[in-house]
Amino acid sequence: MEELSSYFGSFFSRDTNNVRNSDAIVLIGCKIIDQGLKRSEKWKIDPNTACFLVNLGISLGSAVKMASLLNIDNRIMYSIGVAAIKLGLIDADVAFGIPISAKAKNIYFDRPPI
């Protein structure tokens, strides 16, 4: 992730520090496949992509809610998903990472600005 910050932005570098201090990382991603949904000329996004991204968002929300119910600190991070795909850690078209931590203070809350 640190190496990717020069291309994707300084927030990758900041997120790298959170990853290093995390107890584990949960990766969640999806493949975008053609389900034959028709696209209206007015729509700017392919409906197949939209449906898969909505389902991915629901999965991410469910995962972080469950972690929260178990008092496990977490945060959804786009940067982790990008790095995981580039490293071949997950076979997905789109992915996000959820770093988790069980420390005295939530390490994902008071993060330095970019």
In a domain, 39, yes or no: yes
Mean pLDDT of 60-73: 97
| pLDDT for res 39 | 81
* Distance (Å, whole) CA 5 – CA 14: 9
Does a structural domain hold residue 109?
A: no
Q: Print the domain residue range for 66.
A: 5-101
Which tens digit of pLDDT belongs to each residue from 12-33? 888 999 999 999 999 999 999 9
- Answer positive or negative: Cα dihedral of 73, 80, 24, 15: negative
For 91, other C-beta atoms within 10 Å of its C-beta total 9
pLDDT in tens, 72-99: 999 999 999 999 999 999 999 999 999 9
pLDDT value, residue 78: 95
Cβ 93 vs Cβ 29: under 8 Å? yes
Domain count, the chain: 1
